[in-house]
Structure 1
Amino acid sequence: MQVPLFQIFWNDGDIEKIGDVIKRGMFWTTGPDVERFERAICDYIGARYCTTFNSGTSALHAGLLAHGIHAGDEVIVPSFTFIATANAPLMVGAKPVFADIKRENLGLDPEDVQEKITKRTKAIIPVHYGGCPCSVEALREIAADHNLLLFEDAAEAFGAEVQDTKVGTFGDLAMFSFCQNKIITTGEGGAIVTDSKELDERLRLIRSHGRQEHGNYFSSPECPDYVGLGFNFRMPDILASLGLGQLENVDKIIAMRRRCAECYRQELSGISWIKVLETPPGDFNVYQLFSVLTDDAGMAREDVIKQLQDFNIASKVYFSPVHLTRYYRDTFGYTGGELPVTEEIAGKILSLPMYPALQRPEIAYIAHVLRNLGD
């Protein structure tokens, strides 16, 4: 049996939508499906505005630019995340300031965030790890008390909820990623949702060269004006059409992932050196990742990964601490010990295969191999 780390959910509807774009012979770059996808995201998440981008990283970059974050500013971020979260402040000249995480949800610890706020702090970027909501309500209160931007990094949490309210609606704005292993995917892609019309207008300028557009640039006879400095961060229409197909099945995709997570809980029970992470009460986890903590395994985690690989089972560490990567060590002088919970969790975390089509026999096989490792 071979079990990959992830597989993309797709059906004939996805193929048909892409085929329709190809056959029309125009508007592959920007076109009507981008607008449809943005509106569909708004309707699903419950936000007033949505701007799509060619990646979640571009969206993070644009979001900070749109809020005027610049050199001399500080942005509080977790180190337990994909590196783009921490890099985004650097892209606009600001400094990422790392705060520790909570064991309960692996998101930013509001108490440590409070300790890291200085007169230079301008924003907080919390991450909803692996599809599990972070302590976003407490972070929202802190941001409001200090007049800080709250920018949700919901790259992994499309469809997650806190008390029946969708993640992505708690902050001033939120980023979603549509990379290939996310809840829904366009291959590469991202989006920002917000309730601010002014912010949405700035984001649209930034994503397309600072161009003030009225209609489609590629078909309009008008010569548009360039009113600011921008980038080519646009999502192609052909990928937006794929996103529309994926979004039609998002509730099914999430239900399948949650079924897989429940199967894992049952099959992994009784394995003494594996701790299955629990979702805090009232939160709705969409399980973009299924991660466990490896305790008292009797072998190094790297050996566990290698032995799983020997049985054709993929696994991966999501995530190693950003502040201990070579770049951040060399640039900021981190040596370890700065974020004790982050470093402890990152030393034990292991992500197992998780995707909608994963079946119980495959999960049972993974559990069997884990249970018998070292025998």
Structure 2
Amino acid sequence: MTMDWKIPLFKIYWDEKDVGMVKEAIQRGMFWAIGPNIEKLEHMLSEYMGAKHALVFNSGSSALHAVMLGYNIGRGDEVIVPSFTFIATANAPLFVGAKPVFADIEEKTFGLDPEDVNSKITKRTRAIMPVHYGGAPCLTTELKAIAERHNLLFIEDAAESLGATVNGKKVGSFGDAGVFSFCSNKVITTGEGGAVVTDSVDIYEKLKLIRSHGRAETANYFSSTDYMDYVTLGYNFRMSDITAALGIAQLEKIDAVIEMRRRNAEMLSARLSRIAEIEVPRSPDNFLHVYQMYTIRVKEGKEKRDALSASLAKQGIMTKVFFHPVHQTHFYTDKLGYKCDLPITESLSRQVLTLPMYPTLSEREIDFIADQIATFFSPGA
């Protein structure tokens, strides 16, 4: 369903600094592809994350692909991932000829269940790649401990959760590498874009080659007459300097954006927690949820969930199911032949409904959303 929504699922938070940074990059009249904003954004991101290195990409999916290549994951290898995620998480191992192995999730954070992950490890497992769902950290320390115990790579898909923390440490900084997305509905956005953070200088150098055609760049390719050799197979995964300019302006206000998201989520939860038929999102006390999404559970299941979504749509309130299980898509079921036993994933996917959540969501709009949900579940409705 596509329509003009009174209250959309998300709105991008922008200000005149965003416009000014992009305008300045354009008016420079050069360095639109490779330029100084890329290096500046990468430095800002590494500082923000507390990581030694950061590289930006043209999408989170490209960043995931590059990380698979950087760690030489390939044919015969297995990577444990959730099915309760955007499909790019599962596809990344396929890009390099490896096999995604789906593990179930747990109900606290909607992230990978450590016990089920442990049961899926084989002699072919190379990596565990958890997802921090919708701004909520997963059970990161437990999953990392499993990876360390089995000498596996721990790669965090933190695409939806830039700024989220566990005991004050930012998700994406626990593992060998952390991957982020700057797509339009993320915590901050550049329209499209992504990033990788890592403490490994070896992986950092490999990723620089992979994202720019395998070219050993000693200077700006477009403004230098120097010959730069091509030393490996690479791709065009680069973020443009204009996009990076927007990223700088967005990252500068991330703390304010997160504060607004958390305030709005708190107000919405206070209103919705009175409704017995649903569960509002909650995280453990030592987890900082940044609410890239605000997802409720409709206890009665899919039929009631879908009826609620339709009812809200009639009032101009957009909702969406995040996520339908990847292992049940046509591609994975019919083309690849996956048959999985993931009871929690399948149960949750029949209950979840993502409601509007963004920094500029007003208290009046929050009241309207809550009132409409309460009316739907009221006796005789």
Q: Deviations over 1:97-156 (max 9, x none)?
A: 000011011000111110000000001110000011001111111111111111000000
| Alignment CA distance shift 1:359-1:92 (3 Å) | same
Matched, 1:366 2:334: no
Q: Distance in 2 between matches of 1:85 and 1:299?
A: 28
Instruction: Summarize deviations over 1:19-63 as a string: whole Å, max 9, x none.
Output: 001100001111000000000000101000011100000000000
Structure 1 CA distance for aligned equivalents of residues 181 and 90 of structure 2: 15
Map of 2:348 onto structure 1:
345
Unaligned runs of 5+ in 1: none
Q: Does 1:129 align with 2:141?
A: no
Q: Could you tell me which of 38, 47, 59 is aligned with 1:34? A: 38
Pair 1:8-2:12 in alignment: yes
Relative to structure 1, the CA distance from residue 121 to residue 335 in structure 2 (aligned partners, 3 Å threshold; closer, same or farther) is: closer
Distance in structure 1 (CA, Å) of the matches to 2:213 and 2:334: 33
Residue 263 (structure 1) aligns with: 267
In structure 1, give the amino acid aligned to 2:372. V
Q: C-alpha distance in 1, partners of 2:39/2:182?
A: 16
Which residue number corresponds to residue 162 of structure 1? 166
Equivalent in the alignment of 1:205: 209
Distance (whole Å) between structure 1 residues aligned to residue 140 and residue 359 of structure 2? 27
| 1:192 aligned residue | 196
Secondary structure of 1:176 counterpart? strand
Which residue of structure 1 aligns with residue 298 of structure 2? 294
1:302-352 Cα offsets, whole Å, 9 max, x none, are: 22211111000000000000000011101343456x100011111100000
- Distance in 1, matches of 2:70 and 2:365, equals 45
Aligned residues: 374
In the TM superposition, residue 296 of structure 1 has moved relative to its aligned partner by: 2.7
Does residue 116 of structure 1 match 2:114?
A: no
TM-score (norm 1): 0.98
Are 1:321 and 2:331 matched, yes or no?
no
Counterpart Cα distance in 1 of 2:131 and 2:98: 18
Partner of 2:177: 173
Q: 1:22 to 1:331 in 2, by over 3 A?
A: same
SS in structure 1 of the partner of residue 376 of structure 2: coil
- In 2: Cα distance, 1:346 partner to 1:92 partner: 28
Q: Is contact 1:34-1:52 (8 Å) kept?
A: yes
Which residue does the alignment assign to 2:254? 250
Task: Tell me if the contact between 2:265 and 2:294 (Cα under 8 Å) persists in the aligned partners.
Answer: yes
Partners of 2:131 and 2:156 within 8 A in 1: yes
Report the residue type matching 2:278 in the other structure.
I
5+ long unaligned stretches in structure 2: none
Question: How much does 1:298 deviate?
Answer: 9.9
Q: Return the alpha-carbon distance in structure 1 between the equivalents of residues 140 and 303 of structure 2.
A: 36
Which residue number corresponds to residue 337 of structure 2? 333
Q: Secondary structure at the match of 1:225?
A: coil
Matches of 1:217 and 1:230, distance apart in 2: 15
Question: RMSD in angstroms over aligned alpha carbons?
Answer: 1.2
Which residue number corresponds to residue 355 of structure 1? Answer: 358
Q: Please name the residue that 1:142 is paired with.
A: 146
Cα distance in 1 between the residues matched to 2:349 and 2:305: 11
Distance verdict in 2 for CA 1:258–1:100, change over 3 Å:
same
Deviation at 1:88, TM superposition (A): 0.3
Q: Sort the Cα spacing of 1:334 and 1:216 in 2 relative to 1 into closer, same or farther, 3 A.
A: same
What do residues 68-123 of structure 1 show as CA deviations (whole Å, max 9, x unaligned)? 00011000000000000000000000000000011011000111110000000001
Q: TM-score, normalised by structure 2?
A: 0.96
Q: Deviation per CA, 1:230-269, whole angstroms, max 9, x where unpaired?
A: 0000000000000000011000000000001101111112
- TM superposition shift of 1:159: 0.4
Residues 1:49 and 2:49 are matched in the alignment: no
Counterpart CA distance in 1 for 2:25 and 2:337 is 50
What CA distance in whole angstroms lies between the structure 2 residues aligned with 1:297 and 1:79? Answer: 19
Quote how far apart the aligned CAs of 1:201 are. 0.3
**Do the aligned residues in 2 keep the contact of 1:273 with 1:297 (CA within 8 Å)?**
no
1:22 to 15, 19, 26: 26
Instruction: Give the letter for the 1:108 counterpart.
Output: L
What SS class does the counterpart of residue 172 from structure 2 fall into?
coil
Partner secondary structure for residue 300 of structure 1: helix
Secondary structure, aligned partner of 1:226: coil
SS of corresponding position for 2:235: coil
Give 1:60's aligned residue: 64
Cα 1:303–1:335, aligned 2, differ >3 Å: closer, same or farther?
farther
The amino acid of 2:145's aligned partner reads E
**% same residue:** 53
- DSSP-derived class of the 1:260 partner: helix
Deviation of residue 228 (structure 1)? Answer: 0.1
Moved >4 Å (runs of 4+) = none
Counterpart of 1:80 in structure 2 is 84
